[in-house]
Chain A
Amino acid sequence: MLKIDNIKTYYGNIMALKGVSIEISEGEIITLIGANGAGKSTTLMSICGIVPPRSGEIRFMGKAIHTMKPDRIVSLGISQVPEGRRIFPYLTVTENLDMGAFLRNDRENIKRDMDYIFELFPILAERRHQSGGTLSGGEQQMLAISRALMAKPRLLLLDEPSLGLAPLIVKQIFEIIRKVNEEQRTTIFLVEQNANLALKVAHRGYVMENGRITIADKAQSLLANEDVKKAYLGL
C-alpha cells in the first residue's frame, strides 16, 4: 500500500533521514520505534508532505506522492494525527470533527462517521459543544485521532499518541487504535516512544536509530529480540 524507498530528508543542511525504506501493506498496523531524535516524526512529516524528502521515493497505492503538496496527499487517503495533538483550541468538538471531514462532500456518510466516532469515544459526545482547548490531554488526543478518522483515511499516521498521557488512558487509546484497524480496515502507521505497548498492538515493527532503520521484523519477534529489549523495553 505504502512503499517508502530510500528517502533522505533534510532540515536545512542537517540530514535527518539517511535513506529510510519502509513498506506497509493494506490492513496492517505498523509501528516505528526509536529514541528521541531518531527521525520517527520526520518520517511521518515526509510521508504527508510537510517536510518533503530530498531524494528517494514514496508510493501510495502505486502513485508517487513525495512531490505532492500536503493537501493533495490527504485527499488521496492519508490522514495524520500530528505530534502533540494539535487540535483547534477555539472550535468546539463537533467543529473540530467537521474540519476533519473538510475534503469530503457526502453529508450522509459524514454524519454516520461522526456517530461512529461518538460511539468509539463516548466522552467526546458528552463534550461536543465544549471548545477543544478546554478538554483534558487524553480527551484532546481522542479528538485528534477522531478528527483524522473523519477524513475516512485509508492510511492513518499516528505520531506519539501516548505523549504526556496517564497509562490508563494510553491503554484505552491503544485499544481504540486496534479496534479502528479491525472494524474499519484502516491501515495504521504508529510512531511511538512507548515501545512495549506499540509492539503489542502492531503486527510488524521497525526500529530506527540516527535516521536509519536498523531492525525490521514481526512485532512479536521484536518484543523477544534481546537488543530491542535492552534498548527500548527497559528489560
Chain B
Amino acid sequence: MTALNEIKKSLLVSIWFMFLTFPIMVIKVNTVEQTISWRWNRLAAVGIGSFCLSFVWRYMLKRKETGAKKTALGNGGELSAVQRLLQNPRFFKPALLATAVFALIYPFYFSMYQVNIMTTALIYVILGLGLNIVVGLAGLLDLGYVAFYAVGAYSYALLHIHFGLGFWACLPIGAGLAMMFGIVLGFPVLRLRGDYLAIVTLGFGEIIRLILENWNAFSYGPSGIANIPRPGLFGMHLTIHQSLIYIYFIMVAIVVFTIFVVRRLQDSRIGRAWIALREDEVACQATGIDKTKTKLSAFALGATWAGMGGVVFAAKTTFINPASFTIWESVMILCIVVLGGMGSILGVILGALILMLLPEYMRAFSEYRMLLFAAALVVMMVFRPNGIISAVRRNYEFKGTNEKETA
C-alpha cells in the first residue's frame, strides 16, 4: 500500500519535472536554419531520472524516520555505528596508528602535487577546528573567520619585509595577533546573537579584506606580497620539493597539537561554559558563568588557530594577496564545520579532507563543483543534520547514584 503510494507520488513528481524542463530540454530552436527539433528522448530521460531520484529520496526519508523511532524507543543515548566503533579501543588504537604511519610516509610515496594539496587540506583542518570552537562549541555564528586567517598571513609577510623575521618567530606572533583581533571583534558583538552576530562578523571579514586591498602603503594592495620565504630548517638550504615536505610535516605537527588542545579545551571548565553559552544564554548567566569572558575566549581561541593557519599558508604559497581571503573562504570553512559535524573533532577533520581533496581529484567535474557541493549539503541536512560524525559529549557521571536506582 505505502509502496504503491510512494510510486504514485514519485510519478507525479516526474511528470511535474518533465513539464518544467520541457521548454529547455526538449525544444531546440535552430535560429539559422529556422527549424525546430524535438528531442523526445530527453523528455524520457528526465522523466525516468526524476522518478528514480524521487523514489530513492522518499525511501531514504522513510527509513530515516523509522530509524529515528527505533532510537527514541531506546535509552535516548544511542550512538551511531561509527561512534560505537570509535569508542571501541580495539578498533580505535590500530586506526590511530595506521593514520599516523600513513601521515609519516605520505610525502615520500606521493608526488609533489599530492603533498601540496594535502598540506592545503591540513591548513583547512586547523581552520575548521578553530572555527569549530566558535561555532560548534560556543554557538556563535562567525561568517568573518577568514579575517583572522588573513591577519596571520599578512603578519608573517609584513614582519618579514619590515623586520626580517623568520617563519618560526612569526608563527606565535601571527597567532597572537589573530587572537588580539579576535578580542577586538569580540567586544562589540558581546550583546549580539544569531543572525545579528553573523551579519556583524561578515562585515568584519569584509572590512579586513577591504583594508588589505586599498591601503597600499601598508599591505601593498591588490598586487599582494611576493617572495615570502619558506620556513627554514636550522639554516640548511632546502630544494622546493624538500621544503614542501618540510611544510607538510610542520602542518601535521600543528594539526596534532590542535587536536590535543581542542580536545582538552572541550572537556575543560571553559569548554563546558561554551556549551552552556550555546544552549541558553540566560541560564548560562544564572549558573554563574561569566558571559563576557566566555564569549571573548571563544573568539580569541578560535582566531588563534586561524592566525597560525595564515602564517603557514603564507609560507607555503610564498605569495599572498587579498583575493585569497574573500567571503567564500569563510563560507568554505563554515561548510567544513557544518558538513563534518559541529562540535565533533573527527567530523571536522573528515569534513576538511573531503571538501578540500575531492575537488582536486574531481577536476573533470570542476564546472559542476558548486552544484555538487550544494546538492551534497542539502542531502546532508536532510539525512544527517548533525554532520557526518556528530559530536559525542563526555558524560559526567557519578557512580554513587547508581546504587540508589537499583535499591
Contacts and interface: CB of A to CB of B under 8 A. Distances in A.
A74 B286 contact: yes
Contact of B401 (A82, A88, A90, A115): A115
Most buried by B among A87, A90, A99: A99
B31 interface: no
Nearest to A100: B287
Contact of A74 (B272, B287, B395, B398): B287
Interface string A124-150: 011011110010000000000001100
Nearest to A102: B287
A48 B76 contact: no
A87 B283 contact: yes
A97 to B, nearest CB: 9
B404 A118 contact: yes
Contact of B288 (A98, A118, A126, A151): A151
A86 B282 CA distance: 7
Interface stretch (B92-100, B156-164, B273-281, B309-317): B273-281
A103 B285 CA distance: 12
Contacts of B405: 125-126
Contacts of A118: 401, 404
A99 B290 CA distance: 13
A131 B396 contact: no
Nearest to A76: B288
Contact of B279 (A81, A90, A128): A90
A150 to B, nearest CB: 8
Nearest to A89: B279
A111 B400 contact: yes
Given A94-B395, A125-B404, A130 B76 contact: yes
B287 A134 contact: no
Interface in B323-359: none
Given A75-B288, A99-B276, A151-B288, A86 B398 contact: no
A87 B404 CA distance: 25
A74 B287 CA distance: 7
A102 B401 contact: no
A48 B397 CA distance: 30
Given A115-B404, A118-B404, A91 B279 contact: yes
A50 to B, nearest CB: 6
Given A87-B280, A131-B76, A95 B287 contact: no
Given A95-B393, A129-B76, A129-B395, A71 B282 contact: no
B289 interface: yes
B290 A71 contact: yes
A17 interface: no
Contacts of B290: 69, 71
What are the 3 A-B residue pairs with the smallest beta carbon separation, nearest first?
A74-B288, A88-B279, A86-B283
23 contacts: A50-B282, A50-B285, A69-B292, A70-B285, A70-B291, A74-B285, A75-B288, A94-B398, A95-B393, A100-B287, A102-B272, A102-B288, A103-B287, A115-B398, A115-B404, A118-B404, A125-B401, A126-B405, A128-B401, A129-B75, A129-B77, A134-B76, A151-B287
